[in-house]
Structure 1
């Protein structure tokens, strides 16, 4: 009986040990999977995001290495990837096609200064805004254009696929489209159109860069956010949480001042 009792005690201890080990594995998997497997990724371990690479100072070719992109959008995306414990994988893509790329699972997200609009929100989900901007009219110094009303009948240039393209049709039927806002502003500077409607930050930077243009009427404030597939709500939640941490710890404002020269992470409204 004594040997039987000892044997039963050993069996009980062995069973408890197995149960403990099994419980530990389950908890480890739960915590380990929370960062990566609650959401889908184009490539495991990487945060694959699209930017145009043609929208200085938000995304543009690195002067030291033209094969890489730098700018505020890129810096924000890299910081988000770090918060998620993922490797950032930036992809240069034409702005007008980026939303379709997100929908088609070509990218995990678009960190490309997309303005939140009702139309775009039908195609993709948006995070909370990571900066606030707004359209502005830019013209040559000798122009008599001052306000949106003065654009009637004028040649107005905008970037393809931007919200400014749809805004411009309110004021004129003569719309010229370019692959990027910078190219549109360059064309304006060279006298190839009468005005450009674009983000006020991009226009101001073009002026500082030596473009022969001046700023006129501001046309409101817009919210810029990250676009994510509607089929990936878990990633949307994770990116929003990462953005909130970056706002709370001051990283987002720091990156804005570094790349833009001022803090554009809060609304003026």
Structure 2
């Protein structure tokens, strides 16, 4: 009798489970909501709408210490990353039907983030140098700038040759670091220190722990404006340090991003953003 009861109980349980399974169709499966990251390996093609018209999310990696390109703004009472690159990224995302999730990290970690698929693209005032092009793909250049020497006003350090025997600071992994290493070959006794954050670099100059720094002109302008004891001088060069968007090798997004960049340059939107962030 005890054995029969167990058999009846098992049969009832099986019927109940079958009924529950029959009532669960694929239409009741949870879906990623608008603005949420798609599961790994399930990314949708650029420009296509997600299910039920939902937008997709792209991960944008940046180094938010590069005002006015990207930086932390606390004026609204909350920590928000804003800047020239952020506005461009948001414009492109809107045109292509994406949401963007911004990840802040050290500049030196940006290219590795693309190589390990931890980011869909990078915007950080990055120049498409030959070395970087070996590891990632780039969009067309969207803005051009020059390098400067940032130093104390009484230092008389305004030209590369005056840096002989001096210690300078640059951002790790930046085009300015590459420029400094080139200067080491021709400027006798030049010592180069590479640091992660531009704020640290400027502080090193202010305290005299380094004699000068090499920083992009538009960024140097902002730091000097808020630090009146400093000055910056443009380093004359025939080479252009242009900023472009970086992608993992073989990314399907490059062509579509280029189309929007071209559109922004033709319809005046890029000029508006340049005036907004650099003509201050």
TM-score, normalised on structure 1? 0.78
The 5 Å alignment of 1:175-186 reads 175-186=192-203
Structure 1 range deviating more: 172-181 or 132-141: 172-181
Q: Indicate the SS of the match to 2:210.
A: coil
Q: What root-mean-square deviation, in Å, do the aligned CA atoms of Structure 1 and Structure 2 show?
A: 1.9
Counterpart position of 2:271: 253
Deviation at 1:193, TM superposition (A): 0.9
Q: Indicate the SS of the match to 2:253.
A: helix
Aligned with residue 230 of structure 2, among 206, 210, 213: 213
Aligned residues between the structures = 224
Q: 1:162 to 1:215 in 2, by over 3 A?
A: same
Q: What CA distance in whole angstroms lies between the structure 2 residues aligned with 1:33 and 1:59?
A: 27
Q: What CA distance in whole angstroms lies between the structure 2 residues aligned with 1:110 and 1:187?
A: 27
Aligned with residue 228 of structure 1, among 243, 247, 258: 247
Counterpart position of 2:125: 113
CA deviation map 1:70-113 (0-9, x unaligned): 01111111111111111121111111110110121111100111
Deviation at 1:153, TM superposition (A): 1.6
Q: Is the 8 A contact 1:159 1:180 kept in 2?
A: yes
Q: What CA distance in whole angstroms lies between the structure 2 residues aligned with 1:203 and 1:105?
A: 32
- Residue 194, structure 1, aligned to residue 219, structure 2: no
Q: What CA distance in whole angstroms lies between the structure 2 residues aligned with 1:103 and 1:56?
A: 26
Deviation at 1:142, TM superposition (A): 1.0
Q: Is the 8 A contact 1:186 1:211 kept in 2?
A: no
TM-score, normalised on structure 2? 0.75
Q: What CA distance in whole angstroms lies between the structure 1 residues aligned with 2:59 and 2:183?
A: 38
The 5 Å alignment of 1:131-150 reads 131-150=143-162
Q: Is the 8 A contact 1:146 1:216 kept in 2?
A: yes
Q: Indicate the SS of the match to 1:89.
A: strand
The 5 Å alignment of 1:48-67 reads 48-63=59-74, 64-67=76-79
Which blocks of at least 5 consecutive residues in structure 2 are unaligned? 1-43, 50-54, 185-189
- Residue 244, structure 1, aligned to residue 262, structure 2: yes
Q: 1:53 to 1:34 in 2, by over 3 A?
A: closer
CA deviation map 1:100-159 (0-9, x unaligned): 101211111001110110000101111111110111111111112231111122101101
Deviation at 1:252, TM superposition (A): 1.2
Which blocks of at least 5 consecutive residues in structure 1 are unaligned? 1-31, 38-43, 263-269
Q: Indicate the SS of the match to 1:158.
A: strand
Aligned with residue 109 of structure 2, among 82, 88, 97: 97
Q: What CA distance in whole angstroms lies between the structure 1 residues aligned with 2:278 and 2:199?
A: 16
Q: Indicate the SS of the match to 1:161.
A: coil
Q: 1:113 to 1:192 in 2, by over 3 A?
A: same
